[in-house]
Structure 1
């Protein structure tokens, strides 16, 4: 990919993350996003149709990174450490309103669950150690449901039990 494209997209995504730290996503305009990213409106519209398209790409990037780490074995989906880090990200990220399962604009949980479910058909000849995609979808959907019902402190207290439940579901 052209380095100019990479830099422009990185600036736009970073600007959106910064803006979401101080205001709701629904209030972010293309004009202020371009201003913060120091890109022109034509440059923005060359890459994205609207702010929601930027959100989609941020979610897709995050999903790809998580799936890649899961495939190479550096992340165990059911480990307490992974669930704690994921909770921190969902509850405290500047884009947290997008990531929560009840977010009107966010589809992160569904995207991640589907990607993890499909990832057993990994590229480059790698195979997945985790069980079939139905178990992954079930476990992750349950986790997102718990996060939607619990606040941060309750979720963090429940991580050991959630880890055991996910481990049971994801057993071979």
Structure 2
């Protein structure tokens, strides 16, 4: 990646997080982001079409990096022995950016942000199921079945995160515990 592009990307990343922490991203303008990041409008539009798009891209990058940091989860926020670690990492990320997520939830997360979360969680679960097909219920082992199961779990996880964000204080341990408790048992590993 070109060093100038990378510097601009880092500056825009910090700027979008700062501004989205202060107020809803839908109220943030391109001009404000450019001023905050110290870049031109032309530079901004090389990175994103709108502030919401930039925030969604930045969150996706961060979530994919977190998923990649958990190779024991076979692709990210997976299951089995590593399920708690993956869910904890997800909750830590959301808690670390609670202002951003809370400002984007009225009462549900804005579509692009919700889509990013669901997609990363779903792909991670699909990768985990591909690596460990023995955890799946016998009646749901076809690839299209796995997609349905992973989508169901991902949507439930994001829904749980939306409600968890309303709690005060926001406890990562509580979020992790509740999301794991609400997950279908087969994601935790093969039956004993």
TM-score, length-normalised on structure 2? 0.67
| Unpaired stretches in structure 1, ≥5 consecutive residues | 122-126
- How many Å apart are 1:30 and its aligned residue? 0.7
Going from structure 1 to structure 2, the CA distance change for 1:21 and 1:87 (only over 3 Å counts) comes to same
- How many Å apart are 1:32 and its aligned residue? 1.1
The answer as to 2:91 corresponding to 1:87 is yes
Correspondence 1:141-160 to 2 at 5 A:
141-150=155-164, 151-152=166-167, 153=169, 156-157=173-174, 159-160=176-177
Structure 1 residue matching 2:183: 3-state secondary structure: helix
| Unpaired stretches in structure 2, ≥5 consecutive residues | 136-145
Contact 1:67 1:116 in 2 (8 A): yes
The answer as to 2:104 corresponding to 1:96 is no
Residue 128 of structure 1: which of 131, 134, 152 is its match? 131
Correspondence 1:2-151 to 2 at 5 A:
2-70=2-70, 72-73=71-72, 77-78=78-79, 79-93=83-97, 94-97=99-102, 102-105=108-111, 106-107=113-114, 108-119=116-127, 128-129=131-132, 132-150=146-164, 151=166
Moved more, 107-116 or 30-39: 107-116
Q: Which has the higher contact order (CA 8 A, sep 6+)?
A: 2
Deviations 1:115-139 (A, max 9, x none): 2244359xxxxx7347544443333
Contact 1:12 1:37 in 2 (8 A): yes
Going from structure 1 to structure 2, the CA distance change for 1:140 and 1:98 (only over 3 Å counts) comes to farther
- How many Å apart are 1:5 and its aligned residue? 1.1
- How many Å apart are 1:57 and its aligned residue? 1.3
Aligned length: 166
